[in-house]
Each structure stands twice: as C-alpha cells, then as structure tokens.
Structure 1
C-alpha cells in the first residue's frame, strides 16, 4: 500500500485532537504514520495525544518543553517524514473519507505531480461532516502545469488552496525545504508557489477535508489593521518566492509584476471602501501600501478614483456622491 506520513501540529487543541487523528486512522488504501507535535500546550492536548498514541502504534508523539511556534513545528514535521507522500493537518481540522487514496492514486499514476488538493468544507457543527458526500471515486480532476498554476495565482494573488486538503510528494517537499519564518500568516501561499516550480498540480473536484471555524483559529489572528496585515503578508510571500524560490521559472519578471499589480489594485479598492466608510487615515495607509507594492499604480484610473475622494475630503465627496446618485439615469452627464 502507498505510504503517507501525516504531521499534526497541536497547540491547545486537545478538545479537537481525537476527532482529527481519528479521521486519519480510518483512511483506507494507504499505509499511514501520524506525528502529533504538541507545542507546549497549556490544555489537555499532551495527555490526549499520549492516550491516542498508546492505543495505536501508527501514532507518534513529540512534546515540546517550550512553545516554538507553528512554523518551527511544521518544519520539524517535514524533517521527520520518510514516506513518498505527506500531509500537514491542523489538529482542529478533519480529513475526509477516502482523501488520501484519492490523491495518492493520482500522484502514483502521474509522476509529474508535485501536489494534489481539493475542496474544503468549513464547519462548526460535526453534523456537517456526516451530511457532506465525500466518497466519489470518479471525481473530476483539473491538471495544470506548475507554471500555469503559478500564473493563475499571480493573476488573482490570493491563496486558493486549503492546507488541510494538500497531499504533497515528499521528495519535492524535501527539495524546496520548509516554511519560511518571515511568513507566519501566508507561508502556505508561498509554499504552493515554490512546490509548483518543481512539478504539476492537480485539483480534485471532491471534498478532501473539513476545516473547523472557531474563535481561536490562527486564521483569525490578525479589522483595518488585520486587513493591512493580510496584504503585507501576501506582498511579502510573493517577494520571497520570486527572490528565493523561483529559480528555473520562465518569465519571472512578468509574473511578479502581475502579482504586484493585482495586490495593488485590491488595496486601492479596499482603500476606496474604507474611505467611504469614514476611515480616511486607514485608507491612506492602504494607498501607501499599494504604491509600495506596485509604484506604476499611481497612473491608473483606480488610483485617481481614490485620490479625487481624498482631495475633496469626505464631507465634500459625500455631497458630490449624493448628488450623483440622485441624478436620473440617462440624464445629462
């Protein structure tokens, strides 16, 4: 059977850990090993992990005496893997039935694939998992070259891939190395780009994982400042990728410009909304970041849409915009 190593980083998710690991141990068609890494949790995570490991020899455990953070924990797991394929699954998420067999079958049949991903269903109630159909052996597959995958992300510079669904070819993961400490909130985006330099990518039209939504998700870790934080991290992810991870990729300058232009445009749209919602200082911060990301944006119509609002001021712009909205359609311009 195909061997898959699975890394389960855990910090204060003891209440979810049993459900997560249980979804791995029932996977069929694969020979699995699970490494739970407890990052010095202050809840019952360690005790829960110890109890699980004691009942199944496929489950291994590492307990940190001090908290090392999620990036270091991920990379420790990557160093541990030995199987041909690997998965990184947060302890609050759940793998869908058949997910491993579905992905590894594709990768065994096609050595060009660097990784396979699929759909993720967000949930708060466990009933969602039972109700969602997942066993679809004939699920459609979209196969793209690594470069086409990278170009699609640069064209729409956001992360389209949920980590919980990604099965990676371990040899390529080892080749590109671990997650970057500089990217605590966008390391996965940069990782998909890096992996795609070294192989093709397949997307399965099937549910591969369930991602739990709750108050303590790391994805909620970052308001206007939160939005700015997200943009800063994405800008940095693309910068580091093109600076350090894109060797051998054709048309690097054009792809980087495409990503930076897209991020800059997103920021200007966000700045316009933020200005109109009554937060001109925050809008200015977004504008400045847009320019830093892609200086030529200052010649765009979108830039001037924002600047007209800022130069008029919110009160005058509000009056002008109100008159504009009252003008009958089809009237004089």
Structure 2
C-alpha cells in the first residue's frame, strides 16, 4: 500500500495550522504521516501543533529552538521523508479535497512520474474559505523536457509549483532547495524534478494558497521588479546546473529571457501610465538588459500570456477613467 509523508513548515501560523493539518488528515489515505516543523514560532503554533498530535497519532511535531529560516525547514523535510511519496505544504495553505487520492493514483499508475502538480489557482484572499474546492480526478502527463519548455515559454508565470506531490526517491536524488533563491525556489525545484521523468498535472488545484497580510512573500509580490529578477535567477540557476545538458537547453533559456523581457515591457508601460514612472523605468531597463529585441512593442505577449490582455485593458480603463 502506498505511503505518503506531508511535511508542514510553520512559523507563527497558529490560526491557520488546524485547517492546514485537517485538510491533510481528512484525505482518504491510510498510510499517511504528517510532520509539523515549527521554526521557533513566537505565537502558540507549537502548542496548537502538539494538541493536534495528541488528537491524532499520524501527526508528529518537530520544534526548532532558533529560527533557522524557511529553507532549513524545507530541506529538513526532504531529509525526514521516508514514505513512497512526499509533499511540503505551507502551514497557511490547505489541500483540496481528494487531492492526495488522485495524485497518488497517478504516481502508482505511471512509475516514470517524478512529480504531480495541480492547475493554477489565484491565491485566496480573505478570511472566509472557498467552498467545494475538490479534485475531479485524472490529469495530464507530459515529458519533463516539454514541461520545462512550457515553463520557459511563460517565464515561470502561473506555474503551480507552490506545492507538489513528489516521488520520494526522485526528491532524494534531486536534493535540497537552494537558499540562493529566497522566494521562487519551488519553481526551480519543479524544473529540477522534471529532468528526472514525467510531470503530471491534475485537473484541479492541488492546494489553496492563502494571501494575507502576514504572508512572508506578500511584499515581494507587490514589487514587480523583484518578481522579475527572481524569475530570471531561477532560470539562470537551473540552466547552470541540472538543465545545462538537456536537449535544447540554450534555446529554452533564451525563450525564458525573451518572455521575461516582454513581461517587463508591459509592466513598465503599466507603471508609467499609472504615474509610477521611476519604477517603470527600472523595470524597462531590466528588460532591455535581458533581451533588447524583445522590448520593441511585443504585442504577441498579450495573447500568449494568460490574463495579460485583460490586465492591459484594465490599466487603460483605469487611466482614462481618471481623466
């Protein structure tokens, strides 16, 4: 019978932890272990985690005496994984219903799958949880190189790597997350895992990701230049290491840079028309340094990138609405 370890890194998420752990324990999976790794929380996260462990023997708690940073918890999670399959789930997020059942079924059916992702879902904002978020079963398979090429074609935008169901033996071979990528290490990890086999994508979100005021990455997502710079760092890191020798690596890397530059162009325009010219100028310079040819009015980007045309229309409406 297939087994799975779900590791939940936690820092000051006492209010979210019960729902997160509950979303795992409610999955119809018999051979399940949940490990909460608390990174020296200053709230009552440890107390909450220990109460959850007392209520269900499948829950274990690991407590750090000092805050070692999130990467320490992610990489400790990999070291502690012993089951057939493995997942890191952030303590402020929660699994969709039946997601482990469907994900494990795909991994069991296709031994070449290295990891399972869900479909992209916008982060959930607010205190009221979405209802009836459920997996419908089944999914799509693609060769790892095809997945990598697709990621390059969208410059990593909206790739649902925030949480992945991974074959543990493959994760051990791929190794730890890289601390040099503070907030998009998950995207690079998905690319690295893709070099080891097939990638599966379920026909629904794997997790619901919360966006809230205490979210560690909230300020990062609000800074477009940092977002673009980090995505560039992801592709540079990947193609300097695991992706260096895959077929078509140079072409795919160039594609990622072009798409990043195109994104930078329209982001710079958006900032300028909204009265944020200085920020827009910095974003434009970023794109120009990355791929000068891509900064010549890349209209195709609006049609290739999901939601780009809608966002551009909204910016135009907002701008003219002020006059």
Same fold (TM over 0.5): yes
Match of 2:309 in 1: none
Match of 2:279 in 1: 282
Cα distance in 2 between the residues matched to 1:174 and 1:20:
25
Cα distance in 1 between the residues matched to 2:151 and 2:160:
14
Match of 2:230 in 1: 233
TM-fit CA distance, 1:55: 2.6
1:251 to 238, 244, 248: 248
Answer yes or no: is the 8 Å Cα contact 2:114–2:196 preserved in 1: yes
1:301 aligns with 2:296: yes
SS at match of 1:285: helix
Cα distance in 2 between the residues matched to 1:232 and 1:170:
30
TM-fit CA distance, 1:165: 4.7
Cα distance in 1 between the residues matched to 2:21 and 2:157:
26
TM-fit CA distance, 1:66: 0.9
Match of 1:172 in 2: 170
TM-fit CA distance, 1:121: 6.8
Match of 1:242 in 2: 239
Cα distance in 2 between the residues matched to 1:184 and 1:65:
22
1:35 aligns with 2:35: yes
Answer yes or no: is the 8 Å Cα contact 1:4–1:33 preserved in 2: yes
1:291 to 278, 288, 293: 288
TM-fit CA distance, 1:223: 8.1
TM-fit CA distance, 1:290: 1.1
1:148 to 142, 146, 159: 146
For the structure 1 residues 179 and 269, does the alpha-carbon distance in structure 2 shift closer, same or farther, using more than 3 Å as the test?
same
For the structure 1 residues 41 and 223, does the alpha-carbon distance in structure 2 shift closer, same or farther, using more than 3 Å as the test?
closer
Comparing 204-213 with 62-71, greater Cα deviation is found at: 204-213
Cα distance in 2 between the residues matched to 1:84 and 1:218:
30
Describe the superposition over 1:19-69 as per-residue Cα deviations: whole angstroms up to 9, x where unpaired: 111111222134111111101111000111111122322211111111111
For the structure 1 residues 164 and 54, does the alpha-carbon distance in structure 2 shift closer, same or farther, using more than 3 Å as the test?
farther
For the structure 1 residues 47 and 274, does the alpha-carbon distance in structure 2 shift closer, same or farther, using more than 3 Å as the test?
same
Using the size of structure 2 for normalisation, the TM-score is 0.86
Answer yes or no: is the 8 Å Cα contact 1:5–1:85 preserved in 2: yes
Match of 1:75 in 2: 75
For the structure 1 residues 273 and 43, does the alpha-carbon distance in structure 2 shift closer, same or farther, using more than 3 Å as the test?
same
SS at match of 1:29: coil
Comparing 159-168 with 90-99, greater Cα deviation is found at: 159-168
TM-fit CA distance, 1:168: 0.6
Answer yes or no: is the 8 Å Cα contact 1:197–1:248 preserved in 2: no
Give 1 or 2 for the bigger CA radius of gyration.
Answer: 1
1:273 aligns with 2:285: no
For the structure 1 residues 161 and 45, does the alpha-carbon distance in structure 2 shift closer, same or farther, using more than 3 Å as the test?
same
Comparing 168-177 with 54-63, greater Cα deviation is found at: 54-63
Answer yes or no: is the 8 Å Cα contact 1:265–1:290 preserved in 2: yes
Higher helix share: 1
Match of 2:13 in 1: 13
Match of 1:210 in 2: 208
CA RMSD of aligned residues (A): 2.1
Answer yes or no: is the 8 Å Cα contact 2:102–2:138 preserved in 1: no
For the structure 1 residues 261 and 135, does the alpha-carbon distance in structure 2 shift closer, same or farther, using more than 3 Å as the test?
closer
Describe the superposition over 1:115-166 as per-residue Cα deviations: whole angstroms up to 9, x where unpaired: 11224474434552xx315253xx3411111111111110111243434552
SS at match of 1:180: coil
For the structure 1 residues 164 and 288, does the alpha-carbon distance in structure 2 shift closer, same or farther, using more than 3 Å as the test?
closer
For the structure 1 residues 159 and 72, does the alpha-carbon distance in structure 2 shift closer, same or farther, using more than 3 Å as the test?
farther
For the structure 1 residues 202 and 239, does the alpha-carbon distance in structure 2 shift closer, same or farther, using more than 3 Å as the test?
same
Using the size of structure 1 for normalisation, the TM-score is 0.83
TM-fit CA distance, 1:210: 2.2
SS at match of 1:87: strand
Runs (4+) of structure 1 exceeding 4 A deviation are none
